[in-house]
Amino acid sequence: MQWFELADAGAGGAGGVLGSILPLVLMFAIFYFLLIRPQQKKAKQRNAMLDALKKGDKVVTIGGVHGTIMELREDTLVVKIAENTRVTMEKGAVNQVVSSDTATAE
C-alpha cells in the first residue's frame, strides 16, 4: 500500500513543478511580446534612420534644434542651424529626419 502512495505523491509533485513554472513562462512570454519585441523593433528602425542620413537632410535633434546636415562623418555630423552657424554633433543626437533632398527633388 505504501508503494502506491509514493508513486501517487511523485506524480503529484511533477504536476506541482509544472504548475509553478507555467505561470513564469507565460509571464515571460507576455513581457517579451508586449515590451521587449516592440522596443527591439523601434531600436532597429532608429538605427536604420541614422544609417540612412545624408548631406542635405533636414533633421531635428533630441534637444529640439532644427537644422540641415552639411557634412557627414563616421560618428559625427555638422549641422547648419542658422545662416552662419554650424554645429558638430554625434549622429545619435538626431531624433528625426524632417525632409531629405531626394524627397524635395521628386
pLDDT digits 0-9 by tens, 55-91 = 999 999 999 999 999 999 999 999 999 999 999 999 9
Tell me which of 57 and 1 has the higher pLDDT. Answer: 57
Element at 102 (helix H, strand E) = helix 101-105
Residues 27, 6 share a domain: yes
- How many CA atoms lie less than 13 Å away from 81 in the CB half-sphere? 14
Using DSSP's 3-state secondary structure scheme, residue 88 falls into strand
Residue 27 domain flag: yes
What's the mean per-residue pLDDT of the chain?
A: 85
Chain-centre distance for alpha carbon 85 = 32
Residues 72, 94 share a domain: yes
Q: What is the pLDDT of residue 105?
A: 41
Rounded to two decimals, the pTM is: 0.68
Residues 63, 79 share a domain: yes
pLDDT tens for 33-50 read 999 999 999 999 999 999
The residue segments making up the domain with residue 61 are 55-99
Strand order in the sheet with 66-72: 85-90, 76-82, 66-72, 58-61, 94-99
Residue 64 domain flag: yes
C-alpha Rg value of the chain to the nearest Å: 28
Residues 67, 84 share a domain: yes
